[in-house]
Amino acid sequence: MNILRILLTLVFGISLSSCQMGNKEKAGEGGLSGTLHIIHAGSLTYPVKRITEAYKAENPGVEVLTEAWGSKAGARRIMELDTPCDLFLSADYMVIEHMLIPAHASWNIKFAANEMAIVYTSKSRYAEEINVANWHEILLRPDVQIGRSDPDQDPCGVRAVFTSKLAGLYYHDESLPNSLLNKDRQNIRPKETDLIALLETGQVDYIFLYRSVAQQHRFPYLILPDELSLGNPHLENWYAQVSTQTLGSSPGSTITETAQPMVYGLTIPSKAQNLLLAESFSAFLLDTKKGGKILEDLGQPSVVPAPNPYYELLPESLKPFAKHVKE
């Protein structure tokens, strides 16, 4: 009997030890689990894919579901439809300001920059001739097709309008903005990444597009002067000379948007169902050694930490990625 008890005790001890080791290994795989729903700007499609892969490597128990929209269309999905969304990433932080705060979100964090470019392919008409001095003349040639996105749905479309209006000032040509914006309107698409198919198939020769997207798709592109690219934070006053009217957050309403340096923003909507995962993914994305490094490598420099008027409303885990603005 004593021998039997000793054997049973040993067996039980080994089993318990194995269970504890298994539990430790399971815990070590990443404590977070569940499903995270992200709505993001079309221009963030590839960066979000890369960041998600890196995040899941640290958190294998998390499933990340994403939807790409023009940022304004994405904001309307949060506002108007019963669409799950735990995290919203906008190509323009002002979309969050104008459309989601305060009814659908309570704060906003700036996280990355970008700039406008004129993007084309080797088969585009006059691809060998275009340069920083003649790009607007080439785009206006009758046999050239140009494309841009819809300003009422996508910030890139708004920025195409701003670049065209700033070009009128920069080149001292009052007729230039209307000439550019009224040309080939049949090529306007809901979001900037929708234009890529038109460009690749030769239906258009040139598109107004973010430099980062051109780099990610390995398209040739023309770097615009800082005065036109919306990429220089020191030219805020110059950019602010132009504005445009776009659809507002409610049917029939409009808002006035004024040009400014290009900055992306993120928020966790009030309707979010998984706050823990939303905060965790946001912190990963904002970390300049993690998601921020991926964005930088893909052509979008980080602006973290940026001054933030919502600092006191931010989740504690995200405050290190923002600067407190003292009133």
pLDDT tens track for 151-164:
999 999 999 999 99
Closest CA to 156 of 220, 230, 101: 230
- CATH 3.40.190.10 fits domain 116-247: yes
Q: Which residue has the higher pLDDT, 149 or 82?
A: 149
The span from the CA of 44 to the CA of 220, in Å, is 19
Report how far Cα 265 is from the mean position of its chain's Cα atoms.
7
Identical fold for domains 34-114+263-324 and 116-247, yes or no, is: yes
What angle is formed at CA 192 by the lines to CA 187 and CA 194, rounded to 5 degrees? Answer: 65
Measured between alpha carbons, how far is 308 from 326 in angstroms, rounded to an integer?
A: 9
- pLDDT score of 30: 52
Distance CA 45, CA 194 (A): 12
**pLDDT at 21 (0 to 100):** 36
- Digit-coded pLDDT (tens) for 63-97: 999 999 999 999 999 998 789 999 999 999 999 99
Mean pLDDT score of the chain? 91
Compute the distance between CA of residue 37 and CA of residue 83 in angstroms, rounded to an integer: 9
Q: How far is CA 66 from CA 26, 34, 41, 42, 215, in A?
A: 27, 14, 10, 11, 22
Place 17 in a pLDDT band, splitting at 50, 70 and 90: very low
The four Cα atoms 119, 120, 126, 129 give a dihedral, to 10 degrees, of: 50
Instruction: Identify the pLDDT of residue 251.
Output: 80
pLDDT value at residue 250:
78
Q: How confident is the model at residue 276, as a pLDDT?
A: 97
Burial state string for 255-278 with b = 16 or more CB within 10 A and e = fewer than 16: eebebbbbbbbbbbbeebebeebb
Domain ranges in the chain are 34-114+263-324, 116-247
pTM (predicted TM-score)? 0.86
pLDDT of 23 over the 50 cut: no
Which class is 34-114+263-324 in CATH? alpha beta
Assign 31 a pLDDT band (cuts: 50, 70, 90): confident
Residue 324 has pLDDT above 50, yes or no: yes
Can you give the pLDDT at residue 81?
A: 78
